[in-house]
A and B are shown apart, each in its own frame.
Chain A
Amino acid sequence: MLPEFELLMPRTLPEALEMLAQRAPDVMPIAGGTNVIPDLRGGRYRPACLVNVASLPELRGIRQEDGFLVIGGSVTMAEVLEDPIVAQFAPVLQEAAKMLASPLVRNRATVAGNLANASPAADMAPPLLALDAEVELASRESIRRVPLKDFFVHVRQTVRQPQELVTAIRFPLPPPGSRARFFKVALRKADAIAVVNGTVRVDLTENGRCQAARIALGAVAPTPLRAYEAEHVLESQPLTPKDIAEAARLAGEATRTIDDIRGSAAYRRMVTEVMVRRTLGEIAYGEGEN
């Protein structure tokens, strides 16, 4: 049963940040509520007060700004899926959003909430890690930007302080030769928590060399993570089957998997390797050529 709480409905961002400052630490921002409400029902936490930030004008919209793509703190998965700027510069985000939960949830769930909830299996975390995203955290006193790779602390823990609000997520627009693909292994095709998810991104030069590589993985450790050693194998090289296999192997090694009801640790590790290899193959050679 939903416990009792006070619900505050700020009309502006300063008002919201003031409320958070006054009520911290016994306060929780809420937008889509697709995680917060089940958590309240399940008794995971019981804040005395919720601050509804879903309709703050400052948190709306997706825009291009100073070479960055900026996703407002109340932007939903459904909005990401329909956005032409995202389609142009970061279609991998749409690949991931399409795989997240169900249409009903996607109409409410926000990108910011998916990150702030800090599930190890959050579907938006790997693509945003691969895009070198930063999280903008605002409080009454200050605004700071935290690289997403430093944002997650542990299962369901981030560096966000109770008085802080995720006001935006931004990342530099990828260069023209950048290719990224999302993958997800789950126990059904829709509305399922990932057994393993991930994003592989390769920035290719005109002559086909890999300028930069990102391999981001979810559901394989207490937090979403980057497989740095695997990335290094690929950098400054043309993408050869040998390097791809080695990068995939190292990606598997980077995992710190556990057994749970969705899969065993060993399965997760094994499938991570398979999926990284396949996804790199798709990027290098096209669909179905792995």
Chain B
Amino acid sequence: MANFKVIGRPIRRFDALSKAVGATIYADDYKMPGMLHGKVLRSPYPSARIVRIDPRRARALPGVVCVLTAADIGYAKMVADIPGQTGQRERPQSETPVLAWDRVRYKGEAVALVAAETEEIAERALELIDVEYEPLPGVFDPLEAMKPGAPIVFEPDNIVARWRIRKGDIEAGFAAADLIIENTYRVPFVEHAYLEPEAGVAWVDERGVINIRVSTQVMEHFRTVARTLGIPQNRVRIQGAFAGGGFGGKEDITVEVFLALLALHTRRPVRLAYTREESILAHSKRHPFIMRYRIGVKRNGRITALQADLIADSGAYPYLSPYVSLYATVMATGPYRIDNVWVDTVAVATNNPFTSAFRGFGGPQPCFAYERQMDDIARALGMDPLEVRQINYLRTGDTTATGQVIQSAVLLEESARRALEALGERTPDHGPIQVGRGFASYFQSYGRLMWLHDTSQAWVGLELDGTVVIRCGAPDPGGGQLSSLCQIASEVLGVPLENVVAYTPDTALTPLAGTTTATRQLYMSGNAVLQAATSIRKTLLERASKYFEEDPDDLDLADGRVFIKRDPDRSMPLPDLVRICAAEGLPLAHLALFKAPFRDPIDPETGQGDVFPDFTFGAFAVEVAVDTETGQIEVLKSAACHDVGRAINPAAVIGQIQGGSHQGLGYALMENLIVENGEIRTPSLSEYLIPTSVDYPTTQVILLESGTGVGPFGAKGIGEPALTPVAPAVANAVVDAIGKPIRELPITPELVLRALGKR
């Protein structure tokens, strides 16, 4: 299969047209007969004791069917950890009350649930639930939260997780340095702002199984629901839908447990859909980090030591903070060969909105710091920013800070060079407008932590007419995951793409394929489909070899036919071959299980060990114009160059990269979830601004295809990596323009003027 027929072709995704014309049915579009409407009562305080909850007035309201408080659900807690994986140790603080009963720890925490005949009645019922709060002192700054005497969010202290890397001899490394660059960087809370707020419908079916049709990245949350409700795991069914974006915000459980509880207590279908404002209040945020970096460097540009102290605000509940802070730790050095590394990371509980997964999962925050540091080093040494990086870039066969050997191609230099070249001629300064250029390199893992024992399953089957069905429980939140699976099956089985159907995930119908997170779905489920399709291909070719009296290796499948490679006119339509196989009882369907490589956890004292299956490498370059009088920044040009291993569908890959680039530009310049004393001051999309289609010009995309990834056909992952280098590249460009350092995000006009000393 050297010459691909379908792989590598920029095809229109099968889901594209129906999304464009509004025909796609999303989770919130389902209606059920007799359906009730759910609502959630949320805490108005970031830190308070609940003195009393009295739902009686709400229950008495006509049209209210059910009001649930913690007392009605046995003070249930849910484990906000990674479901459906083994190998992780359960953390003592990872339990979150489903509904608060004695304390609320963040503003927006759920306190009660209502189901009513109409949404209006449910809304009114919320106002009739009497909750008496006694406000308590809260802690809103991770540095404050670590001090003795700070209010404790959870006993025994506010430390949610600690990670460390100890590699080489840090003191000797700094002693060998000619220069030490030390700075502190800060990045803000960020909101996912997906198009589709959280939504779902649940009902109990005739078997007594709770069905939940929901917008999610994680089908395996059926396990969390079952455990929380104290029912067997085979009694909860999750039906996925195309999700209107996730970006990690739908990795944690959202509406699922609430829906299950209301459906179980009312025995009627229940719908629950958050408004935009409730979505912003209720789901996780990207972690703010405070990052102190010390890098020692020789006069010739070689880095001798790197020390990083990373402090992440975990908010009021742990959720995935321990994992996000681990990722940040592992990627803290950037894609550089450094012999002496010392990293201390701590995730700290506060009474702020809780933080968890967000595209990049702890990768983008340190990238901002280490790539700003690299430019500072270049400036201090009088070297070109690319030159100083070239001296230190990782290469294939080098080890990361955790001692993991990089196996795949490392196209760091080429990607940086190509991205910078794509910017073309430099725009001149004019008057108070100063133009600057910057770039950033990065590495970002794809695939899960190897001690999670990650697997994906896919079922592929041929119908008698030669068409193909894929059953694979991979949620598609908009990345084109299912469409890519179709391309893989089409390629392997020689079936026209339009003859392949992939079903939307449903835990009752599609084999479990794991989460659409960690940039793992093409890697894991792509390989599972590849395995399943290859198994069927083998059956077909072996049977055809008897028919043609040729060796199976001399046969091929393409365009719905089996044929002899050296004499393609000698062929048979695929349906004829399928019928022959079926008549003989040969297997025309296959369920494949793809296993990522498994390893033991890293050493907790030194952080040494293999962590991820592989990494993606690339660069982002940008030219900006800074108005030195108003502080406003105009993005003039940008280019992204990533080694994606193999672009299964280049159109989808370019879409991912352009989307990630613009999400990254928003992170760099605009997006700022302002939280003051635990209160979100930007509670809607009128205050929390994300880029519009007119804010930044289209990012040029350059695809490199080393073919060395661990995904199907050598593909690497690109979903999260696309965002990672963008913000530091922009910051470097602004610094190039104004000649003053930038050490925080977002780079607002006021921040620019402050950097210029004008304020």
Contact = CB atoms under 8 A, between A and B. Distances in A.
Interface of A: 1, 4, 102, 185, 187-193, 195, 261, 263-264, 266-267, 270-271, 274-275, 288, 290
B629 A274 contact: yes
A187 B669 CA distance: 9
Interface in B676-703: 681-682, 686-687, 689, 691-692, 694-695
Contact of A188 (B120, B630, B691, B753): B691
A145 to B, nearest CB: 33
A104 to B, nearest CB: 12
Main secondary structure of the interface of A (DSSP, over half): loop
A195 B631 CA distance: 13
A187 B689 contact: yes
22 contacts: A1-B119, A185-B749, A187-B670, A187-B749, A188-B670, A188-B689, A188-B691, A189-B694, A189-B695, A190-B694, A192-B689, A193-B686, A261-B674, A261-B682, A263-B749, A264-B750, A266-B759, A267-B749, A267-B750, A270-B759, A275-B630, A288-B430
Given A4-B120, A187-B670, A192-B689, 10 more contacts: A1-B120, A102-B692, A187-B689, A187-B748, A188-B689, A188-B691, A261-B681, A261-B687, A267-B759, A270-B753
B690 to A, nearest CB: 8
A38 B670 CA distance: 24
Nearest to B627: A274
Contacts of A187: 670, 689, 748-749
A106 B670 CA distance: 24
B632 interface: yes
Nearest to A38: B686
A191 B759 contact: no
A102 B686 CA distance: 12
B9 interface: no
B123 interface: yes
B689 A190 contact: no
A275 B123 CA distance: 46
A188 B681 contact: no
Contacts of B681: 261
Interface string B572-610: 000000000000000000000000000000000000000
A123 to B, nearest CB: 14
Interface string B597-639: 0000000000000000000000000000000011110000000
Contact of B123 (A1, A195, A290): A1
A270 B674 contact: no
B692 A190 contact: yes
A185 B750 CA distance: 12
A191 B692 contact: yes
Interface in B732-759: 748-750, 753, 758-759
A270 B758 contact: yes
A274 B630 contact: yes
Given A1-B119, A1-B123, A267-B759, A185 B753 contact: no
A271 B691 contact: no
Contacts of B431: 288, 290
Contacts of A190: 692, 694-695
A187 B671 CA distance: 10
Contacts of B759: 266-267, 270
A38 to B, nearest CB: 8
A49 B229 CA distance: 46
Contacts of A193: 686
Nearest to A266: B759
Contacts of A4: 120
B579 to A, nearest CB: 54
Contacts of B695: 188-190
A270 B123 CA distance: 45
Contacts of B119: 1
A4 B121 CA distance: 11
Which one of A4, A185, A263, A267 has the greatest number of beta carbons of chain B within 10 Å?
A267
A267 B759 CA distance: 8
A267 B753 contact: yes
Nearest to A260: B681
A71 to B, nearest CB: 26
B201 to A, nearest CB: 19
Q: What 10 pairs across the A-B complex have the smallest Cβ distances?
A: A1-B123, A274-B629, A190-B692, A189-B694, A189-B695, A190-B694, A267-B750, A188-B689, A271-B630, A261-B681
A189 B682 CA distance: 18
A266 B748 CA distance: 15
A185 B632 contact: yes
A190 B119 CA distance: 33
Contacts of B630: 185, 271, 274-275
A189 B692 contact: yes
